[in-house]
């Protein structure tokens, strides 16, 4: 049965078929073509089935987000389906899941590959969203290091001396990678994405309950509980709450917003900056 006979429909590409990304695209996927990309065939199948059984038009693509050619092929497939109006990148690994090198390659370099690849295929008026993290605010980078990052292609980021020296643990590697995400979106918004007349922003969630988050809770639950209690909200958030903010940044009401980050952490960073909470 053909559910939608409309041609040349807008395309939404999601890299990382996890709960947060799925919640975001569900907000505005009706009547559009969805392309899901993930390294796991099983994850893709489950995510695609969930969407298809809800009436969405979905295609899938195996993507290794740490390989430039794989990410570029994903972007090319998205463009072959129609005008690419939305791109969401949630691919990443948490500190308890991976080594510092893996985190840097996936969360930092891989994100750079995705930003660059989709900067070549986005349709005019389109929008991109990179899911970063509140941890991008936890380890401020020197001004000169940020300038070096802004002037370095993804392939060269891991050769930056500051990153090589400071990203010696998974936690610090994660913090650095997420701050680099902010800078990657800023640079793209002013250059390659601007040339496509498209917008790109980052969204930095705090403690969000997802299947991935449970790995962190098991590894450092006591620290997370203290962080939750010290925050202004005094609670965690859900993927649906992040999706509301994501849909806003991708939508028409945010058409004057590009190259910036939205911190959505329930007040954790405010607690740190004001001395109400100290990182352990």
Q: Which residue has the tokens 């607690």?
A: 271
**HSE on the CB side for 116, CA within 13 Å?**
18
Say if residues 103 and 174 touch (Cβ distance below 8 Å).
Answer: yes
Burial class (CB in 10 A: 0-12, 13-18, 19+), 230: middle
Given the residues 56, 113, 137, 174, the one annotated as active site: 174
Distances (CA, A) of 98 to 1, 155, 211, 216: 43, 20, 16, 11
Dihedral (Cα; 4, 5, 9, 15), 10-degree rounding: 40
The predicted structure's pLDDT at residue 60: 98
- pLDDT tens sequence for the chain (280 residues): 677 777 789 999 999 999 999 999 999 898 999 999 999 999 999 999 999 999 999 999 999 999 999 999 999 999 999 999 999 999 999 888 899 999 999 999 999 999 999 999 999 999 999 999 999 999 999 999 999 999 999 999 999 999 999 999 999 999 999 999 999 999 999 999 999 999 999 999 999 988 777 777 777 667 888 889 999 999 999 999 999 999 999 999 999 999 999 999 999 999 999 999 888 6
Task: Kindly give the interhelix angle for 68-81 and 111-118, rounded to the nearest 10 degrees.
Answer: 30
Q: Which residue has the tokens 């041609």?
A: 7
What's phi and psi for 59, nearest 5 deg? -125, 160
The predicted structure's pLDDT at residue 127: 98
Tell me how far apart the alpha carbons of residues 15 and 265 are, in angstroms, rounded to a whole number. 22
Tell me how far apart the alpha carbons of residues 165 and 95 are, in angstroms, rounded to a whole number. 17
Q: Which residue has the tokens 């995510």?
A: 47
The predicted structure's pLDDT at residue 221: 62
178 included as an active-site residue: yes
pTM of the model: 0.95
The predicted structure's pLDDT at residue 137: 97
174 included as an active-site residue: yes
CA nearest neighbour of 205 among 134, 130, 129, 128: 134
The predicted structure's pLDDT at residue 279: 83
The predicted structure's pLDDT at residue 2: 72
CA nearest neighbour of 229 among 276, 172, 163, 176: 276
Q: Which residues pair with 203 in a beta bridge?
A: 131, 262
Tell me how far apart the alpha carbons of residues 174 and 180 are, in angstroms, rounded to a whole number. 10
Given the residues 68, 178, 187, 277, the one annotated as active site: 178
The DSSP string of 44-97 is HHHHHHHHHTTT-EEEEEE--TT-HHHHHHHHHHHHHHS-EEEEEE-----TTT
Question: CATH code for 11-273?
Answer: 3.40.50.720
């Amino acid at each position: 049965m053909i559910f939608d006979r409309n041609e040349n429909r807008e395309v939404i590409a999601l890299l990382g078929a996890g709960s947060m990304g799925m919640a975001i695209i569900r907000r505005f996927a009706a009547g559009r073509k969805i392309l899901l990309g993930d390294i796991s065939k099983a994850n893709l199948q489950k995510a695609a089935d969930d969407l298809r059984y809800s009436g969405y038009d979905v295609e899938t693509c195996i993507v290794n987000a740490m390989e430039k050619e794989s990410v570029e092929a994903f972007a090319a497939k998205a463009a072959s389906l129609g005008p690419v109006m939305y791109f969401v990148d949630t691919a990443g690994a948490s500190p308890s899941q991976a080594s510092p090198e893996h985190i840097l390659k996936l969360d930092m370099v891989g994100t750079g590959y995705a930003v660059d690849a989709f900067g070549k295929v986005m349709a005019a008026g389109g929008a991109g969203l990179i899911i970063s993290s509140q941890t991008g605010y936890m380890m401020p980078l020197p001004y000169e290091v940020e300038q070096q990052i802004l002037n370095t292609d993804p392939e060269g980021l891991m050769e930056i001396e500051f990153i090589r020296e400071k990203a010696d643990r998974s936690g610090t590697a994660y913090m650095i990678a997420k701050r680099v995400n902010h800078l990657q979106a800023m640079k793209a918004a002013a250059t390659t994405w601007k040339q496509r007349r498209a917008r790109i922003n980052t969204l930095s969630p705090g403690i969000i309950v997802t299947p991935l988050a449970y790995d962190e809770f098991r590894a450092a639950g006591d620290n997370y509980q203290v962080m939750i209690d010290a925050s202004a909200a005094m609670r965690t958030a859900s993927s649906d709450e992040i999706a509301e903010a994501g849909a806003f940044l991708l939508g028409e009401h945010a058409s004057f917003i590009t190259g910036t980050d939205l911190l959505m952490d329930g007040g954790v960073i405010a607690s740190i900056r004001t001395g109400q909470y100290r990182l352990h």
